[in-house]
Structures are given as C-alpha cells and as structure tokens.
Amino acid sequence: MLNENIKNRVKAIHDDIIDHIESKHICCFSGREKPLFLISEEYPGVWMEHIYDSVMYAILDPSKSELPKTTLLSFIELQKEDGQLPFAIFDTARLNRSASGYSQIQECVSFASLCYDTYEITNDVDFLHTAYAACKKWVVWLENNRMTRGGGLVEMFVGFDTGHDHSGRLEGLSCQGNYRLPDKNEEENAAILPPNDNVAPIFAVDMNCNFYGNLKAIAQMARELGSGEADIYEKKAADVKKKLIKICYDEYDAFFYDVDKHGNKRKYLSSTVFHLFLEKVLTWEEDGEMIRRIYSEHIKNPKEFWTEYPFPSMAISDPSLKRNAKGNCWGYFSQGLIALRCTRWMDAYGWGEDFDHLCERWLEAWTRAYDTFKLGQELDPFTGKPSECSEWYSSCMLFYVYAARRLSLI
C-alpha cells in the first residue's frame, strides 16, 4: 500500500505531467501541420512502438480523439508502395536526419489493432477504410519479406526489429541494432537480411504475436466494413497461432522462446512472453492450462518477473541479466513501455489485483524520484531507482496518470 506522503504528492505530479504533455509533447513536427505525440527530447519523434501513447492519451482525455488518428494516418501516408510502414517518424527540427525510417520493424503493438481501437474512439468510417487497406498491405509486406524460411512465421533479422535494445535475446545476431548496406550509408530497407548471420532469420515470439494481432484486427475491420474477407484473416491468424505454439512453445518450461535459423530454441526468459497476452493470442477457452502455468511459473514468480518493481524486461534469474546496465536496457530494467502495455491485457485476463499492485509500485517509485529525475524510461526492478535515461518519457508519464486515476488518487 502507498503511504500517506506518497498519496499526498500524486495529484500535483499528475497535474505537472498533464501540463508537460500539453506544452511539450503534443506538438507539430517540422513540416507537419497536425500535432503528434513526441516521445521525449532523447527520442525526438514517434516510433511505431509508441503509437499506443496517442491511443492511451485519447482514452484518458476524449477531447484528444483526433490525436491517434493523425498519428496513424501519418504512418500510413509514409507507407511504401510495396506495403512497408516506417518504424518511426522523426522531428527533423530536433534530429538531423530524414523524416522517417525504414531500417527495422519495431512494431511491438500490432498496428492494425491500434487502428481499430482508434476507429472505436472516433467512429470515423472513412478512417477505417483507409486503415483497412493499409493494414492489408502491411501484412503482405511482412509475408513477402519476413517469411524467408517458409515456416509461415515472421522473422527477426536485426535487433532493433523488436525494440529490445541490449537484451540477451539478441546475443549472436550480427546486427543487434539495424543494418545498412556498406556502400550506401543512407540506405534503409528492413527487407534486407544481413549476410552471413549465424542465427538470423529468427522466429521471434513477440513479432509473431504482433502479426497475429494484425490479422485478428483486420478480420474485425472486415466484419465492420462488410468486405466479406473476415474469414480469410481469421484463418491466417489461426494458422499463425498454431505454428507459434508448435515451433516456439516449450511445454516442459511452460515458456515461449525465439527459434534460430537452425531450429534451436533461444532460451532467454524475456518479457517477449507478455505479448502472448498483449495481443490476446492465448485465450482461457483454448489455452487455460498454458496460461495458468506461464503466469504462475514465470510472470507471478518473484524469482523471475514478479520483482519489487514489476516487470523486468528479462527475468531476474536469467543468466544474461545485465545488472550493471546504465540505461535503455531490455536485458534488465522494468520498462515504462511494458507497464503501459499492461493496460491492454492484465484486466482482460482477470489479473486486476496484480495490476493494481504494479500501479502502486510505479507510482511509489516515480513519486519518490520526482525531485531528482522526472518520469524516465525505466526502473531498477529491485530498488525502484530510475536509470538516467530519457526524462519526461511519454509512456512513463501516461502510465503514472493512468495509475493515479485507476487507484482513485486524484
């Protein structure tokens, strides 16, 4: 439980966050007429994995319902003819580079699901038509360019595909960041597999959960629009789920692992497992025993993910744990992105009390740290001390606001 000193400070910090978002983060990027949601000064733009920030802000403040639509349409406007979406849109006034990037995927929450969420917020049928066409093209691009092994699952080529910087799960990859052609320094093409990689292409658990989420959301769009294509995408989704379980699930360990190009399971206890719930791949009706085992043996296990300040990006028992990391490390820290994404699954699976506990721990940690470091990217899972990485980080700010309201502290 939060002590009274913490409770008494929450409202003031909550209000500071809203002021900071409105004055600093909801802004027009250079060359753009409509505002987007800036991640932070350290990350001057909006990455695909952060589109959920805009959706969440619209949920918290319905007057901002156009914000996620503008964000999603900005990505769709930059979609290539072959269907590839950019992994990020940058504010070129803050960063000296091109306005968008295509060197990796870094989706992390299914793009089509966020499109459908935004349709439900706005009831804009014209937007749904646009999103439906774009999301189908995105699926085709992934099928044509990231299923090179013929296994029917999406593949990781480079570390930045997952957004899990510095995670142990990237060990052995020749490009733990992204890849650029050596004779074309500015070339960005996520369809290129780095040559002579010892482990890639890798069947990545999180990327296939995202792919499944895209297919299910497109099926929803098809039903809403009456296109007659819903069954096609439902079948595709069912096939992906079947293959993901067959290839990546280890029944003995009750865990899903990435699988390298040689068919070896890469046994890192990574937070990628949360994506099975984030994208609703597993259901109580079909997978009840599997869900119970994963949650009790791993997620709710204090020796793995249920730490003093949940959830670490790598289980604390994993040999690859990077305890001495300074920041931006998905091989150790409890991430603001992980916490914010819990809004998409913990209540839905019946773990609301555990989610309340997570909210309390994050509120306590950031309230305690507020005078010295404000709302950063990540927390130490043991001590709750923030790393010195990306102050005023969008996902952390949003989660603080959400948690404060959820727990009726404002």
The string over 204-234, giving b where at least 16 C-beta atoms fall within 10 Å of a residue's C-beta and e elsewhere, is: bbbbbbbbbbbbbbbbbbbeeeeeebbeebb
Phi, psi (rounded to 5 degrees) for 202: -110, 135
pTM: 0.97
How far is 121 from 295, CA to CA, in rounded Å?
A: 31
Q: So what's the pLDDT on residue 185?
A: 57
Q: How far is CA 292 from CA 179, 209, 289, 306, 345, in A?
A: 39, 18, 5, 15, 15
pLDDT band at 181 (very low <50, low <70, confident <90, very high): confident
Look at 183-187, 273-277, 383-387 and tell me which has the smallest mean pLDDT.
183-187
CATH number of the domain at 184, please: 1.50.10.10
Domain hosting 264: range is 4-406
Report the DSSP pairing between strands 258-259 and 255-256: unpaired
**Percent share of the chain, pLDDT over 90:** 95
Q: Give the strand pairing for 155-156 and 100-101.
A: unpaired
Q: How far is CA 125 from the centre of its chain?
A: 26
Give 79-88 pLDDT, tens digit per residue: 999 999 999 9
Query: Does the pLDDT value for residue 183 go beyond 80?
Result: no
pLDDT tens for each residue of 132-152: 999 999 999 999 999 999 999
Structure tokens at 101: 């990037």
Give the per-residue pLDDT at 184. 61
Which tens digits make up the pLDDT trace of 328-375? 999 999 999 999 999 999 999 999 999 999 999 999 999 999 999 999
| Mean pLDDT, the chain, integer | 97
Q: How far is CA 290 from CA 147, 283, 286, 296, 380, in A?
A: 27, 9, 9, 10, 29
Per-residue pLDDT at 311: 98
Given a cut of 60, whether residue 394 has pLDDT beyond it is yes
What contacts 348, CB < 8 A, 6 or more positions away?
277, 280
- Of the pLDDT bands very low, low, confident and very high (cuts 50, 70, 90), residue 188 is confident
Count of domains forming the chain: 1
CA distance 44 to 25: 10
pLDDT at 65 over 90: yes
Q: Compare 1 and 137 and report the one with higher pLDDT.
A: 137
Residue position matching structure tokens 């733990």: 176
